Amino acid sequence: MTGLHERHLVVSPEWLALYYRHPLELTHGEGRHVWDADGNRYLDFFGGILTTMTAHALPEVTKAVAEQAGRIIHSSTLYLNRPMVEMAERIATLSGIPDARVFFTTSGTEANDTALLLATAYRRSNQILAMRNSYHGRSFSTVSITGNQAWSPTSLSPLQTLYVHGGVRTRGPYAELSDEAFIRACVADLEDLLGHTRNPAALIAEPIQGVGGFTSPPDGLFAAFREVLDQHGVLWISDEVQTGWGRTGEHFWGWQAHAENGPPDILTFAKGIGNGMSVGGVVARAEVMNCLDANSISTFGGSPVTMAASLANLGYLLEHDLQGNARRVGGLLIERLRSVAAASPAVREVRGRGLMIGIELVKPGTDEADPEAAAAVLEAARAGGLLIGKGGGHSTSVLRIAPPLTLTVAEAEEGAAILADALHAAG
């Protein structure tokens, strides 16, 4: 155990998890690589939980941060803030939400917390519909709508949460159905649920469940849900904390895979847009955003420095078509990983879109999740020079792969080869 690890254990909560038997201290990064305190170099396929979205030490972002910090670092939302207004204008346009208003926070948790506040105030209801296997943050309200027991430490809640089927395609009571039948069954479940509730405020859903192991429903499920929700006046909140900004390759936002009935009422974002800076936010049409009848501010949300970073990062992403790169390189990586998985009896499924890929591990010959195998692959991948994440529903048995969106074909091939060796070594 390193000295820093010992010091960490003395002052940190026991529930603050660290990866690896011998935890890493990362000291610096460049492009798609990071280095630890011992000088070891790693190909980064997790990006600080999908947060280093474009690249480590991206010159355009670091330059923007340094220049803004040299002028003014902080002012709060009580003063006009040019970078914040400029970023809000860009996001409002990109969101697809008509007459959009944007409120900035410092994290995805806070963004989802704000979305819940808006929805419950607008609808005068504390009932929330959420998806099974979901994750929406670590605050008291977001924990209470998280459908993943491993990340929900209390049953106490300020909200009444009702859970809906549909977030996991290949497990559960509808797994054997065709996509069309799956959607019909989930819609029938939602209609039945609404018949037994009074006045739900909103359905909150991740288009692809992040912590839940990069699971997703068939395209069109949330469009079908939207038809039912609209009949009851229930809002749709799309949690784009992990799926936003082109990571899925096919779409800029995850909700666009379910776009038949237009954009969501409320969209939340965070993680990658700041490329490591603390940025989150909420987009909603003016009628919903303006429903609060009390004063509110954001002390740190939308700070000049984080907005300067976000503007530079978004500009780089759009100018270099990183969504297209995620589609092209991500498609290649998924195919390579499926080829690798075919040789491993421990792999149940390789799934995902763009540069958001999950490898689900089970005990060979069964459908039983194998978190020990996932932990072993994580260690073996690190030994081979690759950093990945893990997640999943009832156990952390899914390898989570989400490299920066500038990933090259050569780096994708390298990472797939390391994962092949890691699966073999761990299996």
Domain ranges of the chain: 3-57+321-426, 63-319
Chain centroid to CA 359: 16
Amino acid at 333: L
**pLDDT for the residue 156:** 81
pLDDT of residue 1: 53
Round to whole Å and give the CA distance between 391 and 112: 20
Q: Which two tokens stand for residue 219?
A: 């395209």
- How does strand 202-205 pair with strand 33-36? unpaired
Low-confidence ranges of the chain (pLDDT < 70): 1
Cβ atoms of 158 and 124 closer than 8 Å? no
CB 41 within 8 A of CB 385: yes
DSSP 174: T
Nearest to 90 by CA among 261, 205, 252: 252
Compute CA 367 distance to the chain's CA centroid, rounded to the nearest angstrom.
25
Residue owning tokens 């100018």: 319
**Residue linked to tokens 């190909």:** 43
In whole angstroms, how large is the CA radius of gyration of the chain?
21
CB environment 232-268: b (16+ within 10 A), e (fewer): eebbbbbbbbbbbbbbbbbbbbbbbbbbebebbbbbb
Can you point out the beta strands (E) in 246-354?
266-269, 280-285, 347-353
Return the CATH fold of 3-57+321-426. Answer: Aspartate Aminotransferase, domain 1 (3.90.1150)
Calpha distance 212→142 (Å, rounded): 15
Among 120, 145, 109, which residue's Cα sits nearest to residue 288?
120
Distance CA 281, CA 167 (A): 23
160-164/100-105 β-pairing? unpaired
How high is the pLDDT of residue 150? 81
Please give the Cα distance from 93 to 30 (Å, whole number). Answer: 31
Distances from the Cα of 352 to the Cαs of 126, 208, 250, 402, in angstroms? Answer: 33, 8, 11, 10
From first CA to last CA, the distance across the chain in angstroms is 26
pLDDT at 228: 97
Task: Record the tokens describing residue 175, joined without a space.
Answer: 């797994």
Q: Which two tokens stand for residue 359?
A: 């490898």
Three-state DSSP at 224 gives helix
Residue with tokens 């990340």: 151
Identify the CA nearest to 163 among candidates 153, 178, 177, 152.
152
> CA 4 to CA 116: how far, in whole Å?
38
410-414: list long-range contacts, CB under 8 Å, 24+ apart: 411/32, 411/43, 412/329, 412/332, 412/333, 412/336, 413/336, 414/43
Distance from C-alpha of 264 to C-alpha of 236, rounded to nearest angstrom: 5
Distance between CA 197 and CA 205 in Å, rounded?
Answer: 19
Tally of CB atoms within 10 A around 108: 29
Q: Going by DSSP bridges, is the β-strand pair 386-387/41-44 parallel, antiparallel, or unpaired? A: parallel
Considering the segment(s) 63-319 as one domain, its CATH architecture is 3-Layer(aba) Sandwich (3.40)
